[in-house]
Structure 1
Amino acid sequence: MLFAVSMTFIDQTIVSIAAPDIVSELGLTASGMQWVVNAYLLSLAAFFALGGRLADLFGPRRVVVVGTLVFVISSVLCGCVPRGDFAQSWLIIFRATQGFGAALLFPAALAVVVAVFPVQRRGRALALFFGLSGALTAVGPLLGGWLTAWTWRSIFWVNVPVAIVALALTATARIADRRREESLDVTGAVLVAVGMGLSVLGFQQAATWGWGSAATWGCIAGGLAVLVAFWRFERDRRHPLVNLAVFRDRAFTVDALVLFFAMLAFVPVFFFASVYAQVSLSASPNQAALYLLYFFAGFAIASQWGGRILDKRGARPAMRIGTALGAVGFALWASKLTDLSMHDQWPYVALAGAGIGFLLAPASTDAVNRAIGASYGEVTGITQTVRNYAASIGLAVLGTLLTHRTTENVVSTLTSRGVPSGTAHGVAEDIAQAVTGNGDARTPTGSGTAATAARDAMSSVRMDFAEANQWVFYGMAIALGIGYFVALRHPGGKGGVAPAGHDAAGEAPAAAPPAGGGHRTSA
């Protein structure tokens, strides 16, 4: 199962490093490149609850196999994108189907892990599962930097051998499927997908349409209204897509909210930090990957401590420490961005990573352990939907902020060099779209005085972009700060209530075949 889910988490962030090469070869627009990144996350968020439900209805092994096949076929097609006018649509479509495959795969894989571990060992297994999945998210840029040196298409093709190994191991593990004879809530699945898609579309396109646009607010408000309708619809269903009763547990609600605010920073940071490194620090893709290695180092070390704290004292202390460290780390990192030096920034990059590392596995594990009256598939569907929806919103909102601040800063730089205001705005928008879409900011195109002034001012533009990124990273610090105050509301203690369909010992009822294919789960 770890082999299977490794692909899904690496692909959340691996594209961020390869994006400049993708833009250069395929001629994508800035908003198009952001959608290539966000389509995957949005599809994950929209269909995760459905994936968890399908694992319950048809058995987790079947859904793992189907999800893996959908994911790897989509990966191959992403790597085979043709050049030309259809390239952008092609890549966005198959990134979305990648996300759909991942949404099927992950909750089903987790259900398998839960089924084969006895309750006394389940906490440690889940902490490892969630901790490793977070670490794999951080590995994405590192792997992407190495693979891009060959060809950016390899970042998608690398999933093929991993998928083959995952399918082979799944077959040899002889995992038996346990199915629940219930109906599938198709209407709920459509409502949640439409609601999330519309709201993220509004946030994503705000930089293009403008915050004063009726289309921007129509999408945001319409999406949120559909999500409210989804919530009301689910309350009256006998077999809902999402069992909303789990939110009656205050600890579960706090876990979900902490994950939401943490994910506003965690996945987006890889995209924005890699763009910053390549634009403001003039780093190569490999150098940008090494820059993000500081974050991963802090994350890896702290995740071990967070797991120990979870085992001994529960999730509350780990979440408080993590959100506090993360808020301080991102704030200090933001203050150092204008130094334009990797060497001066690494302690704060590592501190920000440590904050996320402390809280990610404990919050995720505690939420699953408090799955009152719901299956593990349903609960994981909720928490992972929250995580990926937050990551999509973070990318959209912070990307819009970055574009706006970059444009303002570059306009100020150009007008100070004698470029007329109107012309400066046009050139600044071109530069902002290039750098925030991972284009090449080193050689502005155009002719005449404005283009010459822009080329001459590129060293200042790199500083302008660094200053714009400060707003983004301070925004991440604020998100973690809000998460800290939410974590204070956690009641403490350790969750240990078995989900529906399991007895107090965490095993399946006698009438249902064990999910270990006849093997003893204590082996």
Structure 2
Amino acid sequence: MSPRVATPSRTTAAAAETGGGTTIAQTPSRRRPGLVLALLAFAQLIISIDYNIVYVALPEIGTGLGFSAQNLQWVISAYAVAFGGFLLLGGRASDLFGPRRMFTLGLSLYAVSSLLGGLAGSPALLIAARAIQGIGGAFLFPATLTLVSTSFAEGRERNRAFAVWGTAGGSGMILGSLLGGVLTQSLGWESVFFVNVPLAALAAALAFPLITPDAPRTRGRSFDLTGALTSTVGITAVVYALVQGPESGWTAAHVLGAALAGLALLAAFVAVERRSADPLLPLRLFANRNLTVGTGVTFLYMATFGTLLYFLTVYFQGVHGYSALRTGLAFLVPMAAIAVGSQTAGRLATRYGIRPVLIASLLTGAAGAAIIAPTMSADASYAALIPGLVVLGIGQGAGYTLMFGAASTGVNPTDQGIASGIASTSQQIGGAVGLALLVAIANAGLGGHTGEALRVATADGLRTAVYLAAAGIVLTALAALALRRPAAREVAAHAPAHV
């Protein structure tokens, strides 16, 4: 049975009439919810693939365009900085202008920037294309989350929708590595960009017949330009400092300058929002405990789980010398496990509630990381990794599915865009912070080693980083304990009916 589209409540309709912002006029008879969900999952798959597809192509990109060793990281970092910096703006734009409009805008930016990236003949042009991709993601991701949250009723339907959406996102992280390896080895690095063009264009075209048109923008709503500028520039500066710090050193003048300027602008942003009649980020949203705690869980999840793909890639290529294609194939096992975890989590959350299932999934992932770590030696076989990869993938897929659902619970439909932007921003910053810290720890013992000694030292450093990630995942589970415990009647209302 396909999930049913939620009928708007009178509260939602009243919010639209009294200046609550743009809302989605749900019309179940005109839209096919199964196809809508498939489209939203496809868009999330594009985001996840695009984030990871470039990793295994980096050596070829560096050689083909003449990147220096220091500047090559900006093929990844330009995307992360732009994505993280523009997320709040993208989230509020979804509330004010409508999620379908921002959905198609984000996909259009993806298509254009991917074409530019594939055609790039210099490092500067490729970095600019990656930054535009990041901006596209900052508009697309909150819009997609908003459409999932507002198109399906809270409870069984939304849990199922988030399970499908989460499966696409979690699987896309691994599929990106596999596809990147296949395309790079067979068609060249340019193909990892060109492949996004038809995918994004197709998804944008399908949005018009499948997604309900946005309601007209409510008159009297301002865009809070000052808040948009201070938050976007402030977050961008902070993310830049986090990304560049490990490369240039945390005490480098431009890193410290960016961090201090970013923090000052974010402080100014909070002051502006307190006085604004129509703020970009209504501070009242943080009274919702699930949003506040869910945002923290998302930060910690990405700082721990979100780094493991990088360390596994380094382990496969740097320690064992896997090719790009073989590295991608090595991720098939965790990809399957992620899909199983995502689907299982949706069903369990419907019966027992998001909170206990999220905690259980995080503890499962921590166990998986703890199983993987001791098997990451310089002479270990891939088969030794499989049990840990399976357990880790199940926990990772389940956690990714549920953490965004937890953050969106109880949020008014007219604020879903900015709430998604908050959670997504914490996702990007968490990934940057976690990767910076754990990479520094993993690389601490590499100095002075060459040849076989370097390979062994690399494996030792990666093992230490994965152990620390496992400990961090346990802390994430403890943080999730602060989520609001659902009342018994809520769990009963969301439980599947027995036939």
TM over 0.5: yes
Distance in 1 (alpha carbons) for counterparts of 2:100 and 2:189: 32
**DSSP-derived class of the 1:30 partner:** coil
> Are 1:491 and 2:484 an aligned pair?
yes
Q: 1:66 to 1:6 in 2, by over 3 A?
A: same
Q: CA deviation at 1:284?
A: 0.8
CA deviation profile, 1:438-477 (whole Å, cap 9, x unmatched): xxxxxxxxxxxxxxxx4xxx22221121122223323322
Aligned to 2:180: 144
Q: CA deviation at 1:359?
A: 1.5
Give TM-score, length-normalised by structure 1. 0.79
Aligned to 2:424: 384
Q: Which amino acid aligns with 2:210?
A: A
Q: 1:324 to 1:115 in 2, by over 3 A?
A: closer
Q: CA deviation at 1:260?
A: 0.9
Aligned to 2:163: 127
Assess if the C-alpha contact under 8 Å between 2:159 and 2:347 holds in 1: no
Q: 1:55 to 1:207 in 2, by over 3 A?
A: closer
**DSSP-derived class of the 1:406 partner:** coil
**DSSP-derived class of the 1:91 partner:** helix
Please report the RMSD computed on the Cα atoms of aligned residues, expressed in angstroms: 2.5
Q: 1:478 to 1:30 in 2, by over 3 A?
A: farther
Aligned to 1:447: none
Assess if the C-alpha contact under 8 Å between 1:270 and 1:292 holds in 2: no
**DSSP-derived class of the 1:269 partner:** helix
Q: CA deviation at 1:88?
A: 2.5
Distance in 1 (alpha carbons) for counterparts of 2:398 and 2:149: 22
Aligned to 2:303: 264
Q: 1:225 to 1:292 in 2, by over 3 A?
A: farther
Assess if the C-alpha contact under 8 Å between 1:130 and 1:364 holds in 2: no
Distance in 2 (alpha carbons) for counterparts of 1:133 and 1:495: 31
CA deviation profile, 1:396-441 (whole Å, cap 9, x unmatched): 333344444323xxx1x4xxxxxxxxxxxxxxxxxxxxxxxxxxxx
Q: Which amino acid aligns with 1:126?
A: F
> Are 1:397 and 2:397 an aligned pair?
no
Given candidates 187, 192, 214, the residue that maps to 1:155 is 192
- The aligned length equals 446
Assess if the C-alpha contact under 8 Å between 2:319 and 2:378 holds in 1: no
Aligned to 1:477: 470
Question: For 1:107-256, what aligned pairs fall within 5 Å after superposition?
Answer: 107-118=142-153, 121-149=157-185, 150-173=187-210, 175-178=212-215, 179-181=217-219, 182-213=221-252, 215-256=254-295
Question: For 1:340-379, what aligned pairs fall within 5 Å after superposition?
Answer: 340=379, 341-372=381-412, 375-379=415-419
Assess if the C-alpha contact under 8 Å between 1:402 and 1:472 holds in 2: yes
Distance in 2 (alpha carbons) for counterparts of 1:224 and 1:322: 34
Distance in 2 (alpha carbons) for counterparts of 1:392 and 1:218: 18
CA deviation profile, 1:130-180 (whole Å, cap 9, x unmatched): 342232223211111111122111111111221232133123226321123
Assess if the C-alpha contact under 8 Å between 1:204 and 1:399 holds in 2: no
CA deviation profile, 1:240-292 (whole Å, cap 9, x unmatched): 22223222122222211111111113333223321221110110111111222
Which ranges of structure 1 fall in alignment gaps of 5 or more residues? 414-453, 498-523
Q: CA deviation at 1:113?
A: 4.0
Distance in 1 (alpha carbons) for counterparts of 2:99 and 2:468: 38
Assess if the C-alpha contact under 8 Å between 1:54 and 1:63 holds in 2: yes
Give TM-score, length-normalised by structure 2. 0.83
Which ranges of structure 2 fall in alignment gaps of 5 or more residues? 1-38, 491-499
Q: 1:201 to 1:117 in 2, by over 3 A?
A: closer
Given candidates 452, 460, 474, the residue that maps to 1:459 is 452
Assess if the C-alpha contact under 8 Å between 1:18 and 1:145 holds in 2: yes
CA deviation profile, 1:328-366 (whole Å, cap 9, x unmatched): 322332222124322211211222222222222112112
Given candidates 297, 308, 313, the residue that maps to 1:274 is 313
Q: 1:193 to 1:475 in 2, by over 3 A?
A: farther
Q: CA deviation at 1:115?
A: 4.4
Assess if the C-alpha contact under 8 Å between 2:227 and 2:272 holds in 1: yes
Distance in 1 (alpha carbons) for counterparts of 2:286 and 2:110: 31
Q: CA deviation at 1:24?
A: 2.4
Aligned to 1:313: 352
Q: 1:52 to 1:212 in 2, by over 3 A?
A: closer
**DSSP-derived class of the 2:73 partner:** helix
% identical equivalent positions:
33
Question: Whose radius of gyration is greater, 1 or 2?
Answer: 1
Distance in 2 (alpha carbons) for counterparts of 1:383 and 1:8: 16
Assess if the C-alpha contact under 8 Å between 2:92 and 2:418 holds in 1: yes
Given candidates 85, 98, 101, the residue that maps to 1:46 is 85
Distance in 1 (alpha carbons) for counterparts of 2:388 and 2:247: 33
CA deviation profile, 1:278-334 (whole Å, cap 9, x unmatched): 110110111111222232232221222211221111111122112222223223322
Report which stretch shifted further, 199-208 or 384-393. Answer: 199-208
Report which stretch shifted further, 69-78 or 268-277. Answer: 268-277
Distance in 1 (alpha carbons) for counterparts of 2:232 and 2:248: 23
Assess if the C-alpha contact under 8 Å between 1:14 and 1:143 holds in 2: yes
Distance in 1 (alpha carbons) for counterparts of 2:245 and 2:418: 33
Assess if the C-alpha contact under 8 Å between 2:166 and 2:342 holds in 1: no
Distance in 2 (alpha carbons) for counterparts of 1:40 and 1:33: 13
Q: 1:5 to 1:323 in 2, by over 3 A?
A: closer
Assess if the C-alpha contact under 8 Å between 1:370 and 1:495 holds in 2: no
Assess if the C-alpha contact under 8 Å between 2:83 and 2:138 holds in 1: yes
Distance in 2 (alpha carbons) for counterparts of 1:81 and 1:40: 15
Q: CA deviation at 1:41?
A: 2.2
Distance in 1 (alpha carbons) for counterparts of 2:276 and 2:131: 28
Q: Which amino acid aligns with 1:351?
A: V
Q: CA deviation at 1:372?
A: 4.7
CA deviation profile, 1:170-215 (whole Å, cap 9, x unmatched): 2322632112331112222222222222223333333343344455
Report which stretch shifted further, 481-490 or 2-11. Answer: 2-11
Q: Which amino acid aligns with 2:137?
A: A
Assess if the C-alpha contact under 8 Å between 2:100 and 2:143 holds in 1: yes
